[in-house]
Structure 1
């Protein structure tokens, strides 16, 4: 079970984060001032640290700077300070992400999952087989959830099935007929044109530039493939 340290002096926010993370399977500890939080972080037992900036005794900038000199684990700043200069400074000191209050607990959880998996991947830790991950795209086949750069995207059941099928068979080209038969079934009397419609909808949700996709490529005159 992954362990998270929250360094946050606002106990209401800290407890909200803790409750939501525990519901998602994390073990969580809270420190309400910078010095205590920093000492806990030095134990080296945490998989990710969440830190506020405006803390008593030791501010978040100091914590990030000093921890980054000792550990490579993900650090996420969660702060009410929303000026670009604060974000630039925090990220420049080594934070992996910067989330501005108020925030969505579900978004925070998604980003935590993304950063932990990215860290484990870079560190050579085996990623569970129920996650398909590629260039910021993560498909959680156990929960049927899809994330792009840590943010969850909502796909219909069929859109999800098309994406999983392609992502599970990277670099292979599939015709519209093959995709239609694989997803809808050979007994379905629908039109294979629906494949193109679903691909277009998926691209709008997961691609940075749907007209120049990174993930699902059109092979003109043939079909589609997922780039790995």
Structure 2
């Protein structure tokens, strides 16, 4: 699979360096000098990952990151000259998956790009013995990463799929928010457990009447009747 990366950066020198290194590694690259142009690209030909500067003309990178996160869990790497801890925390809280301070090594950026792709879209080397999970109205094809609800295929994000797969494989088990953060976002995730609640809300909205229960004061579980 050939990944497609959108680079949102208004510095011509950084544009050229990042683009050259990404293309050398086999990635397709789109260079955008503003968040407004990047948003237009998102609506017409969405990239598989964003590399995003914060200090941009017009809409800044924080606002662009927030808008993307309202629609998708596509990986986002923030690159910024802002190196204060509060700036990094804000970028990650708004949905950034990684934060790299300028000046940075292009090789380090490439390593982080590859790590994020590996984490968000794992390539399974072995065929799993059970590819299909069927629970009531929910049908999941794990290897194809496809989900059906009431016989209709649903468009879902990477994290929505990972969350549903986890619950379906562990039906009736209650997971704490902390467990879900580790299992879906990874141990290196730095942010609030509000991300779990937001993801659950999105799943419930897409999968109407899914028996995804709140375990008050603890977390969530997928409830099914015994024998299903």
Q: What CA distance in whole angstroms lies between the structure 2 residues aligned with 1:63 and 1:34?
A: 6
Give the secondary-structure state (helix, strand or coil) at the position aligned to 1:77.
strand
Highest CA radius of gyration, 1 or 2? 1
Q: What CA distance in whole angstroms lies between the structure 2 residues aligned with 1:112 and 1:102?
A: 17
Q: What CA distance in whole angstroms lies between the structure 1 residues aligned with 2:91 and 2:100?
A: 11
Query: Which residues of structure 1 form unaligned runs of 5+?
Result: 130-228
Alpha-carbon distance change, 30 to 102 in structure 1, aligned in 2, over 3 angstroms: same
What number of residue pairs does the alignment pair up?
Answer: 125
> If the length of structure 1 is used for normalisation, what is the TM-score?
0.53
Shift of 1:47: 1.2
What is the match of residue 27 of structure 2? 26
Q: Deviations over 1:166-222 (max 9, x none)?
A: xxxxxxxxxxxxxxxxxxxxxxxxxxxxxxxxxxxxxxxxxxxxxxxxxxxxxxxxx
Indicate if the aligned counterparts of 1:7 and 1:52 stay in contact, CA closer than 8 A.
Answer: yes
Q: What CA distance in whole angstroms lies between the structure 1 residues aligned with 2:16 and 2:125?
A: 29
Indicate the RMSD between aligned Cα atoms, in angstroms: 1.4
Q: What CA distance in whole angstroms lies between the structure 2 residues aligned with 1:98 and 1:112?
A: 11
What is the match of residue 181 of structure 1? none
> If the length of structure 2 is used for normalisation, what is the TM-score?
0.53
Indicate if the aligned counterparts of 1:21 and 1:28 stay in contact, CA closer than 8 A.
Answer: yes
Shift of 1:4: 0.4
Shift of 1:24: 0.6
Q: What CA distance in whole angstroms lies between the structure 1 residues aligned with 2:124 and 2:45?
A: 21
Asked whether 1:84 is paired with 2:85, we answer: yes
Moved over 2 A (4+): 41-45, 126-129
